[in-house]
Structure 1
């Protein structure tokens, strides 16, 4: 319950909530924090902030203050790799990455949480790469005082499946690369794919354990894949032979090497001819030729997710379509752009 009093009568009384001050272009934040005891010197400042009245709080048994509500919500939202501090400002609590990794947001869970009246959470896009200490979300109760029931309902939704917000670590993999194609194998053209893949893998904390070359021959592609597996590689990337030409036999070679699951085609451009397969639990990735000509492709959307251990299947490749169109800007600023943000 809120009791309204004149600001001139508030001297000696503690503030029930933060008092926000906004100075355009300079400052936006609490001028006075919750619990501050109002003194004579504060009256003029409060009046300049437009405060003619203040409120005292006498909570009923079924009511909760915004700060306590925010803490309950944050506790429910924070899954593995996400932390928060019980230091609400203006009723808001921020959540942070507890480690380097990939932010994973349960989007359906977040929507259900935000459908509860008088609570909210805003987060970064799912699959945003984050470093330890980076803010990933913020939550608050909207009113100063609210009923406990919706807070408890929202917190229950938030905590399902271990929390709506997680930061998953990138697992360091030993990658085997197979460069396919008669032209490269015979030396007619120089391999330019390997340094691109090495750079992308190194940036994500993985290493290239072996590189092999194979012509457009099913048996030799199969042998190259099997050799990398025998050498302990736990990620295989193949380039070339991913189109629909009759002599593009890379997929057949992967299948013969033991792939029992294969998904060809991704709803993203560049990268429609992307492929992901699995030999046991080891992901095998077919990288289309667009990776030679575009700095950012579907590989940049999928590779980090694979490195968290996520199983990428048909559904995941289909969901790329919303936001999966790269605008091929003259100066690429990915990931600070819309590409891949609709997933």
Structure 2
């Protein structure tokens, strides 16, 4: 029975979503586990992210705020911990302060210790974490060793790998470190990170239908400002400045905090209004240069078009998607985690076996 990896046991797994953002990690796990996963606790301190989260997940409990103020005894029992702990302290785009980072009175670099604290108490089957690639090289790799050692000390076997979103069906060059921890009593020796599909996808594939609102087209004054800024840096030998992406190529990583939209500009010559709908200096540029829309950023991160963005200001959406994860990558990893958990549960005569959905999809294709 165990030799056929197509089979799994129907089990309901309970999960918690820490540093939840707008639910990108949860979405990936929901896609992989389908009806066999239930979220029982969510923590996210940003009010605007909470609003977006509530619009997209119908939970019967409130979203908890600052996780440092939550007693682990007040968190329901769970099997899987999802934790995209803050990346700013380790990002290559940041100040690389790591464990010394201080932000609004709390050290972001040590927030992973909240994950350790909660999981040490509840001992879930799996801990899943995502962070920036810079975490692996911060302080010459010592920071990452501390993090992995912390999970090992509370009884987990740790697997980690850097994966790039461009290999998982989205046109975004985004490298991130993924950490999967299995409780030591679970045989996870068969676990492997997914390789990705290597399917060729380009920016053109995720563009919204025309016409695009003129508010996303840059003013001629702003375009000139960007050019002068880039020329100044080029004269100093720097590579800073705006970048216009080829529609048949992929985007650069969309950035934590939603900044750097100018690094992923497009030339979109499809018909659109030249009448400004927001206050701008000058006129809408005649070169058809625009920034990507929030929906296009959502698609770059693998969020389905059913993901509700209504009533959320663009400023917040850019920040939220820049801070989020690529759902496709999460889903692919979650499917591999599910295989390990399924084999663990195929032990008794009352086990009910079903074909893995991804195998069905392959046959259907």
Whose relative contact order is higher, 1 or 2, with alpha carbons under 8 Å and at least 6 apart? 2
Name the larger-Rg structure. 1
| TM-score normalised to structure 2 length | 0.29
| TM-score normalised to structure 1 length | 0.30
Instruction: Determine which structure has the larger helix proportion and give its number.
Output: 2
